[in-house]
Every structure is written in structure tokens, then in C-alpha cells.
């Protein structure tokens, strides 16, 4: 396949498909099934942590699994069709679809979606499985000890490229992981501010 044909395949087919996949509103649908508008409760974020805080850990786990599946499908599909580079491009598109779903803006709702931790995490279980297993344990430990899901998420995002480097990932792949991490950290800007002010909501605490 020639370079121009590869670019065409990514832009015309895979990237838009991955973005649309990322837009699937897992948290909103799970919460709505319980009669709750998740954006009006807890932190207001349509993500697994807030669903867990508002509706309980079982629904939170379901949302996390659905959001992770979006990243895993994007990564696996891109990898199978056109290699690991395309996989990372598709993961980025799915993550942006999850974070910034245009459909919500068209509906007059707040533009921001979820924060991308589960979506990137699901992708990394496909692309960096060993590192992902270790960092899952890190997230559980940090979140349990601090009662702050956001702190656990920030920790694993920072450690992810380090782990990839330790297992011998090529430089371009580490750079791609850093770029994905920066996207996730950008969506955690308010969480970081609340952590500094010691105002961040705890897991299991609905305010």
C-alpha cells in the first residue's frame, strides 16, 4: 500500500469511525436507565467515577467496561487493518470522540464528554497489555488509599510511558502514549486544581 493510500484509508474510514465509536454515551445511557441525568449530579462528569459515586460501584464498573471497550475496539481494529501506528491514530480519534462528542453540542448540551481514562486504558490493554495489568493494580491501590479516583488516574497516566519504555516500546510509540496522556491530563485540569485545594470529591461521596 502506498503512503497516500494509507493516509486516505485512515482519514476517510478509520478515523471518523473511531471518533463515532468514542462518542457512544456509555455513562449517560447507564445513568438514564436509572432515571438520572449524570451531568446534574456529583462532579457532573459523564464518566465511570461519577457514575460510581452517584449510582454505585456496579454501574460504575459497567460504564468503565463500556468506555474501555471503545478504546480496545479502536486499537484492535486499527492494528489489524493497518498496523500499530494506525492503531494509535484510531485510539486518539476514539478518545477525542469520548471527550468532545459533537453530538452533545448539536443537542445544545455541554460540549465536554468523559475524561478518557477508561478509553485509553482499554486501548492500552490491547497495545501494552503487561504494562496495563501493572498499572491497573497501581490505580486500584492509589484510588483505595486516597479515596480519589482522579489521583489514581493521574498516577497511571504519568507512569504509562515509563512502563512502555521499560518493556522496550519504540520511541515513536512512547511519544504517542505521551500525547494521549496529555489529552487525558488536560481533561483533568479541574481535578488537579481541586486536588491542590483539597476539594476533590471522594469515591462513594455524592455532593
According to DSSP H, which parts of 2-128 are helical? 3-9, 15-22, 26-33, 48-55, 57-82, 84-99, 102-106, 117-127
Query: 57-66, 93-102, 106-115: lowest mean pLDDT where?
Result: 106-115
Mean local confidence (pLDDT), 159-182 = 97
Helix (H, G, I), strand (E, B) or coil at 119: helix
Q: Is residue 56 part of a domain?
A: yes
Q: Is residue 37 part of a domain?
A: yes
Q: Is residue 24 part of a domain?
A: yes
47 falls in which pLDDT band (50, 70, 90)? confident
Domain that holds residue 28: 3-197
Q: Is residue 205 part of a domain?
A: no
Mean local confidence (pLDDT), 57-61 = 91
Q: Is residue 207 part of a domain?
A: no
pLDDT at 7: 60
Q: Is residue 71 part of a domain?
A: yes
Q: Is residue 203 part of a domain?
A: no
Q: What span, in angstroms and rounded, lies between the C-alpha atoms of 4 and 61?
A: 41
Q: Is residue 72 part of a domain?
A: yes
Centroid of chain to Cα 89: 14
What value does the mean pLDDT of the chain take?
A: 88
Please write the tens of the pLDDT for every residue from 13-34.
Answer: 899 999 999 999 999 999 999 9
Domains of the chain: total: 1
Q: Is the pLDDT of residue 61 over 50?
A: yes
Amino acid at each position: 500500500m502506498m503512503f497516500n493510500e494509507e493516509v486516505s484509508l485512515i482519514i476517510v474510514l478509520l478515523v471518523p469511525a473511531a471518533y463515532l465509536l468514542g462518542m457512544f454515551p456509555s455513562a449517560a445511557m447507564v445513568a438514564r436507565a436509572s432515571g438520572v441525568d449524570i451531568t446534574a449530579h456529583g462532579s457532573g462528569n459523564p464518566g465511570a467515577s461519577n457514575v460510581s459515586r452517584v449510582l454505585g460501584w456496579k454501574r460504575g464498573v459497567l460504564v468503565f467496561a463500556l468506555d474501555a471497550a471503545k478504546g480496545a475496539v479502536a486499537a484492535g481494529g486499527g492494528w489489524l487493518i493497518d498496523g500499530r501506528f494506525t492503531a494509535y491514530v484510531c485510539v486518539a480519534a476514539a478518545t477525542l470522540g469520548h471527550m468532545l462528542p459533537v453530538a452533545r453540542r448539536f443537542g445544545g448540551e455541554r460540549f465536554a464528554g468523559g475524561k478518557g481514562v477508561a478509553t485509553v486504558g482499554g486501548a492500552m490493554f490491547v497495545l501494552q497489555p503487561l504494562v496495563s495489568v501493572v498499572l491497573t493494580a497501581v490505580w486500584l491501590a492509589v484510588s483505595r488509599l486516597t479515596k480519589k479516583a482522579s489521583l489514581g488516574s493521574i498516577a497511571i497516566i504519568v507512569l504509562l510511558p515509563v512502563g512502555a519504555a521499560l518493556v522496550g516500546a519504540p520511541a515513536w510509540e512512547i511519544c504517542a502514549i505521551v500525547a494521549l496522556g496529555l489529552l487525558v491530563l488536560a481533561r483533568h485540569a479541574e481535578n488537579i486544581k481541586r486536588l491542590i485545594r483539597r476539594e476533590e470529591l471522594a469515591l462513594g461521596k455524592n455532593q
